[in-house]
């Protein structure tokens, strides 16, 4: 069995980034830019008011003038070319362009008006309450590097500089196949001894969240021919996840079928709990993951190895999760020879981040994965620890470029 780091190294080393495609901006949401993006426009395009108020000359204010004649009204969207003279003011709304001759906005709350005379009650400094042209973005600014994740803010920024279409990595096509003769699809009646397929649903959700295009291939019974047929078809995709059938049971056919279909095994078995019998290999450009069947083992294996692979396929450098050390809010149980990943929630107590388990930690207990905010990692041969013990916590949201220092590993990078 190999360590978490060795397994991650093997997975990341096998990634062959996908080609890119050009899409309309909204379709780029959640995907990765496939080129560095340089701004074609500046933002703001013109100097404009940051407040509703009156635009005046800053030097008038500095010279002590407090009364101004209001000569023009400028709502947002109106462009006034005539200069405002000394001693004059423009009534101006937030976002409206400053006319020539003025450089300072007095917010309306600091003024009084009678007829067309405006009196400044509290004078701001010269240049106040004005957004300079280009103060956010100037033409030629690098907005994002290649591989950047395009979330809501990034899409908005691109819209702000007039980008309508953008090149992004193709979404990885991820085939999801559940294996197990005991499995029943949602909506089908249950016979004695059967269980419902949940792994296809969790993997689908995890794949979508990672920017992939998942395809559900249903359930393969524990039958060599059926497994061959369905896994064979799955190999047409960029990445394949089978769940179950990868341990040492009589009916665990996944590894055998992977071998028959020419999948080159990179590893089988990671020294973690849950997730030990993970099998990873490649055939051509296709990455093939056999994750264990237990619902939590399936999800944790996806989180640890499949998600980084899906992100790296899109050229993302931030394939890891954010992590930190936090204190246990309850005693931490011992471990045996494997590193354990346990699910937790986070809270603050006396100014410190603490974690608490979400409930029973069996690898079949999916209810304690639901609502988990993070995984915390307990090193192998851990004797048990008290409240306050500091352990590595990996968030189950967000992304980062720094690999978490998973315990139980030979030192790497």
Q: Are strands 117-120 and 67-74 parallel, antiparallel or unpaired?
A: antiparallel
Pairing of strands 48-49, 130-131: antiparallel
Rounded CA separation 320/303 (Å): 9
**Counting contacts by CB under 5 A, is residue 315 touching Mg ion?**
no
Q: In angstroms, what is the minimal distance from the CB of 246 to ligand AMP? A: 6
Number of residues that bind Mg ion (CB under 5 A): 4
C-alpha atoms less than 13 angstroms from C-alpha of 150 in its C-beta half-sphere: 34
Q: How far is the CB of 180 from ligand AMP (least distance, A)?
A: 4
**Contacts (CB under 6 A) with ligand AMP, residues 309-368:** none
Q: Report the residue number, 5 or 255, with the smaller CB distance to ligand AMP.
A: 255
CB of 228 to Mg ion, least distance (A): 16
Rounded CA gap, 407 and 325, in Å? 12
**What's the longest Cα–Cα distance across the chain?**
93
Q: Is 205 helix (H, G, I), strand (E, B) or coil?
A: helix
Q: Does 274 bind ligand AMP (CB under 6 A)?
A: no
Question: Closest distance between Mg ion and the C-beta of residue 244, in Å?
Answer: 4
H-helix segments, 302-374: 307-313
Residue 181 site contact among Mg ion, ligand AMP, none (CB < 5 to 8 Å, cut-off depends on kind): none
27 binds ligand AMP (CB under 6 A): no
Site for ligand AMP in 170-229 (CB under 6 A): 178, 180, 182-183, 195, 197-200
Nearest-approach distance from CB 210 to ligand AMP, in angstroms: 19
Residue nearest to ligand AMP (CB): 293
Q: CA 279, CA 295: separation in Å to the nearest integer?
A: 16
- Taking a C-beta distance cutoff of 8 angstroms, is the pair 266, 281 a contact? yes
Q: What is the DSSP letter of 46?
A: S
Query: In this complex, which beta carbon is closest to ligand AMP, that of residue 49 or of residue 242?
Result: 242
Give the binding site for ligand AMP (CB under 6 A). 178, 180, 182-183, 195, 197-200, 243-247, 249, 292-295
């Amino acid at each position: 069995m190999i360590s978490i780091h060795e397994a991650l190294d093997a997975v990341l080393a096998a990634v062959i980034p996908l080609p890119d495609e050009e899409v309309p901006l909204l379709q780029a949401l959640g995907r990765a830019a496939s080129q560095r993006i340089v701004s074609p426009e500046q933002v703001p395009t013109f100097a404009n008011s940051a407040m509703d108020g009156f635009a005046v000359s800053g030097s008038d204010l500095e010279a002590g003038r407090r009364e101004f004649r209001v000569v023009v009204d400028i709502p947002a969207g109106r462009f006034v070319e005539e200069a405002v003279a000394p001693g004059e003011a423009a009534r101006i709304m937030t976002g409206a362009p400053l006319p020539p001759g003025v450089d300072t906005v007095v917010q309306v709350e600091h003024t009084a008006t009678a007829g067309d005379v405006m009196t400044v009650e509290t004078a701001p400094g010269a240049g106040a309450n004005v957004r300079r042209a280009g103060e956010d973005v100037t033409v030629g600014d690098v907005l994002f590097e290649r591989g950047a994740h395009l979330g809501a803010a990034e899409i908005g920024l691109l819209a702000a500089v007039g980008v309508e279409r953008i090149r992004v990595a193709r979404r990885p096509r991820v085939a999801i196949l559940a294996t197990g003769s005991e499995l029943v699809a949602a909506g089908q009646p249950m016979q004695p001894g059967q269980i419902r397929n949940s792994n296809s649903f969790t993997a689908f959700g995890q794949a979508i969240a990672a920017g992939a295009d998942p395809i559900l291939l249903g359930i393969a019974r524990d039958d060599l021919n059926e497994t061959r047929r369905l896994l064979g078809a799955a190999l047409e995709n960029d990445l394949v996840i089978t769940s179950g059938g990868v341990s040492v049971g009589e009916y665990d056919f996944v590894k055998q079928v992977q071998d028959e279909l020419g999948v080159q095994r990179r590893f089988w078995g990671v020294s973690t709990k849950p997730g030990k019998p993970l099998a990873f290999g490649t055939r051509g450009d296709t990455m093939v993951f056999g994750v264990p069947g237990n619902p939590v083992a399936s999800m944790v294996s996806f989180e640890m190895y499949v998600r980084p692979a899906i992100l790296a396929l899109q050229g993302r450098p931030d394939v890891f999760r954010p992590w930190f050390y936090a204190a246990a809010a309850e005693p931490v149980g011992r471990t045996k020879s494997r590193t354990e990943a346990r699910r937790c929630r986070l809270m603050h107590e006396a100014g410190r981040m603490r974690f608490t388990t979400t409930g029973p930690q069996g690898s079949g207990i999916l209810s304690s994965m639901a609502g988990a905010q993070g995984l915390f990692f307990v090193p192998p041969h851990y004797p048990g620890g008290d409240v306050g013990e500091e352990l590595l916590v990996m968030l189950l949201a967000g992304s980062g470029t720094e690999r978490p220092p998973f315990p139980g590993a030979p030192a790497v990078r």
